[in-house]
Amino acid sequence: MEGMVRRDASPEVLQLWRNAECVAFDIDCTITINDSLDALGEFLGVGEQIQKITNAAMDGHLDLETALQQRLDAMNLTTQKIQAFVNSHPVEKRLVPNIRTLIEELQARNVEVFLISGGFRELILPVAKALGVPKSNIFANRFVYMADDNAEEDQVSSQSLRVTTFDPKEPTSRGGGKPEAIRRIREKRPYNTIVMVGDGITDLEAGQETGGADLFIGYGGVVQREAVMKEADWFVDDHAVLAEALPRLKVAMIGSGAWACASMRMVAENARSRRIFYPKVKMWVFEEEHNGEKLTELINRTHENPKYLPGCHFGDNVEACSDIVSVVQDADILIFCTPHQFVHRLCLQIKSHVKPGCFAISLIKGMRVRTDGPQLISTMIQRTLMVDCSVLMGANIANQIGPGSLCEATIASKNVEHARLLKLLFHTEYFYIDIISDVEGAEMSGTLKNVVALAAGFADGSGYLDNCKAVILREGLKEMRELSIRLYPSVRESTFFEACGVADLIATCSGGRNHKVAMEFAKRGGSDSFDTLEAELLHGQKLQGTLTSHEVQSCLKIKGWEADFPLLKVVDLIVNGVYEPADIARFRDLNLFPIVKSPTAEALAASEDAAMLDSIQRRVSILEVRGLV
């Protein structure tokens, strides 16, 4: 008979198990180490008698209703006896090995767990609570009570009730009850695949009747019944086998800069500790040399990126690779974290190699400008690769996250299940994640704050005080919100109060790379170009704010909105060399003066600030060369 037992799952069975949307477990001898009524009978001194009745029922030699009533009669139960048993048998000592891990693995994958038992609800509730299974997901028998005849009439209470029988309305009180319970589940929730796991004949029936389970897995870790072993679609002695067979999501990181490496620390940590993810994470690295050695080899040897974020150790489960196709081709989750100007080309490179059903998340702050207006990076990824793409935005300064400093971020996603899985991938005790559905609002906030950070850097580098910076942050937040809502009317006001909004703005305007370079640009009076400062100060990292500023202005020009966003407009004019960095404090006034090629004498005489108009006249040639006038 042993040769007939299906201990190895067939490909078809394995696929059903991995695609299960609902798993129903028997309790006695499947989740707990014994039959609860047997244990209760032993506790009351009639264990041998009760066990004989149980075995006869589980082996199919005695109908369930008769077996239930015979056991109740033999035990002469009262509420006091039941409570005493529960108190003396803590749940942790009743569970079979690895059942908690298996149920946690299923719940992590959003698989609904039900308990279907011929045992009694009063004995099952503590087990369900310990395993995180809601009461509404329990199908079990119920005791029927009456007052104890020995109690005085005026002393009758819940402590003096006697069990007389069971409630026949519960499906598990009779033969065919477990298939009926599964049919009831299907009536309420349209699961495509339901799996039944159990040790007895009644569990086997659940997978054999019409409308029952799509797959029956026999469990023999406590007791092995011949009929169950012979007829089960898959038979296991350890729940760890089922847990190991569950699918694990493979994760790929596209990018290896400072922010990619800082976020990789959280990703790698969670991939190691959460069994829902495959432990090894691949990282695409643009190959270059550092200290005479290939960067990929350095990362794989030291488990950190010594060029872009030295000291941020992300563990030995990260594999750096310069071949982007091999990184993405079997991944279930793609994390994009590269300079935004390179993303479209990378997407075109990998579009024919992404795994069907995979999904993505963008950590990138920027936009792509087309003739009809801006395109968010997440939208571009989604349309090019035909995958769902969420975003992660927040006050995320890489060199502060790397050491484990407290931080928070926002995951914005239109897919609830993807958002839940992504939170599991990024959330740690020091990196807190909130979830919202406003993808456009979150991504626009993350994009536009880099331009505002330039303004804050110009102010700090020019020696202005905190009051001036406060004006810039307030106006910046206002313009971020206004432009986002104009472009995407679905954007929510509340998004700007999330980590992706005001928190990211504050952090970036204090310690981000855009603020740092803009401040130095102002200190040097604009004498050095942004390209020079990028190379000098960022050591290979890209300065996103200046490019984003140009993209934003292109968008505003397409829409005819330039005058409505004075701070964003003046920042771009400073970046283009039209105004001095110190002019940021006059962004409102500068927005009122039109840029003219040759101011007339009348205009100069009428102006209260002739020097400023003269400055405009002297710098207009720069605009002409760049096609801005």
| Catalytic positions | 449
Q: How many CB atoms lie within 10 A of CB 170?
A: 18
Q: Which residues, 6+ apart, have CB-to-CB distance to 510 below 8 Å?
A: 456
Spatial separation of the C-alpha atoms in residues 298 and 300, rounded to whole Å: 6
249 φ, ψ (degrees, to nearest 5): -85, 125
Angle, CA 499 vertex, CA 495 and CA 501 arms, to 5°: 50
Name the β-bridge partners of 294: 289
3-state secondary structure (DSSP) of residue 152: coil
Name the β-bridge partners of 282: 252, 319
Q: Which residues, 6+ apart, have CB-to-CB distance to 555 below 8 Å?
A: 367, 369, 373, 374, 487
Within 512-559, residue ranges assigned H as helices are 513-523, 530-538, 544-559
- Cβ atoms 433, 411 nearer than 8 A: yes
In the DSSP assignment, the letter for residue 495 is: G
| Helix H or strand E segment including 367 | strand 367-370
- Cβ atoms 316, 343 nearer than 8 A: no
Per-position DSSP letters for 251-302, written without gaps between them: EEEE--SHHHHHHHHHHHHHHHH-TTEEEEEEEE----EETTEEHHHHHHHH
Long-range contacts of the stretch 534-537 (C-beta < 8 A, 24+):
537/513
- Tell me which amino acid residue 456 is: A
Q: Categorise residue 502: left if φ over 0, alpha if ψ from -120 to 50, beta otherwise.
A: alpha
